[in-house]
Homo-oligomer: A and B are copies of this chain.
């Protein structure tokens, strides 16, 4: 069965939102997709007929297993293309998202499989997010939010909370990115800002909001 780009974008949005919130509300979706709630309702009915989701009026929506399969296929394509753009075509990791949003809708199955093979079956995209394999499986990272990292534990940034240009801008300015190694030095309970230290750089303070947008995994320092 074939789906339009618009339908795929709805499925993808529901997939991402239901990771956190369980059932996804019409208003959440409207915000995520920059459309009006009325439009969401129309499309939810349409996708329900196509068996991609379980939806009851006024009660929110979840993906069916069909829908989840489709979502994972789209996420797989998105992340593989991001990996390709950064590692093969030498894009910066902060400039691949928009292009991947287009490339993820290319339908050829063979294209995805050959691309995966060419890239060497990567497990994580340039933002640190895991890439689903052809069966939709992906490895789980035990990553924690930077705000929860205990002081003096060496850790490495492995994922960012969103791809908004605003976030990417401040990260670039503060020289933070995927792979950056750091330690938390102090936590200020007044505004929940934290002081972090990166090698060869003076310690800097980052806001609660920024810290919450960064995910890290602890690393052994040998």
Interface residue ranges, A against B (CB under 8 Å): 85, 88-91, 95, 98-99, 102-103, 106-108, 110-111, 114-115, 117-118
Contacts of A107 in B (CB 8 A): 102
Instruction: Give the distance in Å from the alpha carbon of A89 to the alpha carbon of B103 in the complex.
Output: 16
Contact B102 A114 (CB under 8 A): no
Contact B106 A89 (CB under 8 A): no
What is the copy number of this chain in the assembly? 2
7 contacts between A and B (CB under 8 A): A89-B111, A91-B110, A95-B110, A98-B108, A99-B111, A102-B106, A106-B106
Instruction: Give the distance in Å from the alpha carbon of A107 to the alpha carbon of B89 in the complex.
Output: 16
Instruction: Give the distance to chain B from A25, nearest Cβ to Cβ, in Å.
Output: 31
Contacts of A99 in B (CB 8 A): 106, 108, 110-111
Contact A118 B89 (CB under 8 A): yes
